[in-house]
Amino acid sequence: MIARDITDEKKLEEMKSDFLSMVSHELSTPISVVSGAADQLKTSSSSLDERQSKYVDMISRNAARLSRLAMDFQEIARMEGGRFQIRTKPIRLQRAVESACSSLSQMAKDLHVKMSYPRADDARDTQLNADVDRIEQVVTNLVRNALRFARSSVEIRVEHIDSECRIIVEDDGPGIDPDDVPRLFTKFYRGKQRGKIKDGSGLGLAIVRGIVEAHGGSVRAENRAAQAEGSTGARFTVALPLHNRS
């Protein structure tokens, strides 16, 4: 009976993975068409009035949101289907962190959140073997999540401790509900807390865990110590091994 239950559960997981892969594939083309049309309208038409321009911007933002969702579906499907790969090479960690954070500067500005992060310095930059695109994806997902919950600030740090390096992302938001901690990195789990924006898919943190573990690392979430103003905020820490450094 137990063996049958395990087999049925495995089949169900395979069906879920296949479904996610199919959905992401079917969404990609229409999303690209909508996004391309909106961009074309913004760049080639000077006859749009203020109201029309607002609608075009709305279309662009939501097309970008759907595009991210489709990519998240693809990533989860690859991870669950055993098709997920990382391509490691020597990288400079601070440079990767800076690149990811810079891409979210407009989001931080729109949400009125001050974002501080390390600027690349080749003389002090931590070097390790990793997939730079995947590491940037980890940072992007964690920082985007922090921006959703932050009241006014998000801080990103890189630390080098013994045989590992750490990427730390902190916000000054409401913190993490204790009941959420065990399931926080589970796909589709969105937690009890609600942030400034509510467009999370519940996949971002699951993807973070998959990428980090594929690098032989770990990720954890916790609440920061209470601050003077009474807020706590969340802290996410990614630990990556340096033992394979070239």
Q: Are 177 and 191 in contact (CB under 8 A)?
A: yes
Q: What are the tens digits of pLDDT across the range 199-226?
A: 556 788 988 999 999 999 999 999 987 6
Question: Which positions ≥6 away from 162 have C-beta within 8 Å?
Answer: none
Break the chain into its structural domains and give their ranges. 2-80, 89-241
Instruction: Specify the CATH class of 89-241 in words.
Output: alpha beta
Q: Are 152 and 167 in contact (CB under 8 A)?
A: no
pLDDT of residue 101: 95
The tokens of 56 are what? 């075009």
Helix (H, G, I), strand (E, B) or coil at 152: coil
Cα gap 232→211, rounded to integer Å: 27
pLDDT in tens, the chain (246 residues): 555 555 665 666 666 666 666 666 666 777 777 777 777 777 766 677 777 787 787 787 777 767 766 677 667 766 766 667 888 999 999 999 999 999 999 899 999 999 999 887 755 678 899 999 899 999 999 999 999 999 999 999 999 888 899 999 999 998 888 888 888 888 777 776 655 555 556 788 988 999 999 999 999 999 987 655 556 899 999 999 986 544
According to CATH, what is the number of the domain 2-80?
1.10.287
Q: Are 97 and 167 in contact (CB under 8 A)?
A: yes
Report how far Cα 105 is from the mean position of its chain's Cα atoms. 15
- For the entire predicted model, the pTM comes to 0.74
Task: Report the Cα–Cα distance between both ends of the chain, in Å, rounded.
Answer: 50
Q: Are 116 and 99 in contact (CB under 8 A)?
A: no
